[in-house]
Amino acid sequence: MGTLPKDIIYSNSVKQEKDLYFANQAGVQYTTADTLDELVKIKNVAPKMKILWRISITEDDTENLATVFSVKFGDDLSSIEEAEKRFKQIAKMGVKLSGVHFHCGSGPNGSTSFEKAVRMARACIEIGRKYGHSMEVMDIGGGFP
């Protein structure tokens, strides 16, 4: 369709092994995960894919959003201490993360928590690097009204 595989992030929250294998074989370099089970799957099926850890961002004002994602997707790290434990745990699994992904939600007025999300993602990048993750990407999600 005209998009290079290297420019695609495969961010389905629960990937079937056959789809993950196909994406990897097609040259898609990045994928996301927000559970340890998903990390194990990626490690086994597509070990060379770069992984972005999806974090959940609790929206301060959900009434203005068409879709709220914080209750559906992402690792709900409510503190820096929880992030510290998670990235250490992932490193002990032998998985190296390449960055962080989040999506605040979609709506005509935008998210009221976007700044909070960027700050948390930035903290996760610093913590991840402390545990040997490269953390080179911050994917801020997408969406439209």
What pLDDT score does 99 carry? Answer: 97
Would residue 40 count as lying in a domain? Answer: yes
The Cα 28–Cα 108 span in angstroms is 31
What pLDDT score does 42 carry? Answer: 97
Count of domains for the chain: 1
What pLDDT score does 143 carry? Answer: 46
Is residue 115 pLDDT above 60, yes or no?
yes
**pLDDT digit string (tens) for 122-145?**
999 999 999 999 999 999 875 433
Would residue 144 count as lying in a domain? Answer: no
Would residue 80 count as lying in a domain? Answer: yes
Domain CATH for 63: 3.20.20.10
Q: Are residues 60 and 88 in contact, defined by beta-carbon separation less than 8 angstroms?
A: no
What pLDDT score does 101 carry? Answer: 93
Would residue 55 count as lying in a domain? Answer: yes
Would residue 145 count as lying in a domain? Answer: no
Instruction: Find the mean pLDDT for residues 11-27.
Output: 94
**pLDDT digit string (tens) for 26-85?**
999 999 999 999 999 999 999 999 999 999 877 665 555 545 454 557 898 889 999 999
The Cα 45–Cα 47 span in angstroms is 6
Domain of residue 31: give its range: 10-139
